[in-house]
């Protein structure tokens, strides 16, 4: 099954937005409380790099 191109474009734009903001901490949790995205602002504020926290329970 191929992903919907419009959905993929929206996800790509969202990822670009989150990654480009560094003055504010932005992160996304799934419904179970696991980190799905983490930007440089969140890294600066919380002290965790994305590779340390994405996929972990927050």
3-state secondary structure 20-33: HCCCCCCEEECCCC
Terminal Cα-to-Cα distance of the chain (whole angstroms): 32
Q: What is the pTM of this model?
A: 0.72
pLDDT single digits (tens) 28-55: 999 999 999 999 999 999 999 999 999 9
pLDDT, residue 38, reads: 93
| Interior/surface letters 2-26, b for 16+ CB within 10 angstroms, e for the rest | eeeeeeeeeeeeeeeebeeeeeeeb
pLDDT score at 32: 97
The neighbour count for residue 44, using CB atoms within 10 Å, is 12
């Amino acid at each position: 099954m191929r992903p919907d191109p419009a959905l993929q474009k929206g996800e790509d734009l969202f990822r670009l937005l989150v990654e480009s903001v560094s003055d504010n901490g932005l992160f996304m949790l799934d419904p179970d409380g696991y980190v799905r995205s983490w930007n440089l602002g969140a890294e600066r504020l919380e002290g965790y790099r994305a590779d340390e926290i994405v996929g972990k329970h927050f």
